Amino acid sequence: MANIKSAKKSIKTDAVRESANRAIRSKVKNDMKKIEAAVSKKDSELANSELKGFISDIDKACSKGIIKKNTCARQKSRLNKKVKEMNK
């Protein structure tokens, strides 16, 4: 356990940040799962609308440093490719 006052405070703030980051990361993962499900059901309207929300959410996570830049780009690219192939 921390003895110094600033160390005690940093433990508290780290816990708050961790929970906020976890919420953002889980939202991105849930969006990915929704898009995958829509693609498997061949529901193009749902997939396109979910893709827009997913791109917005993952860009926010990337800008905050929760998800790495290349990971963000790779995931957007893969899901966009799947949705476009489904629409053909």
The string of pLDDT tens digits covering residues 6-37 is 999 999 999 999 999 999 999 999 999 999 99
22-46 core/surface letters (b: 16 or more CB in 10 A; e: else): eebeebbeebbebbeebbeeeeeee
What span, in angstroms and rounded, lies between the C-alpha atoms of 25 and 58? 8
Domain definitions of the chain by residue range: 28-87
pLDDT digit string, tens, across residues 44-79: 999 999 999 999 999 999 999 999 999 999 999 999
Rounded to a whole number of angstroms, the CA Rg of the chain reads 17
pTM: 0.85
Instruction: Evaluate if residue 88 carries a pLDDT over 80.
Output: no
Contact 57/24 with Cβ under 8 angstroms?
yes
**What is the pLDDT of the chain when averaged over all its residues?**
95
Taking the C-alpha atoms of residue 8 and residue 87, their distance in angstroms, rounded to an integer, is 53
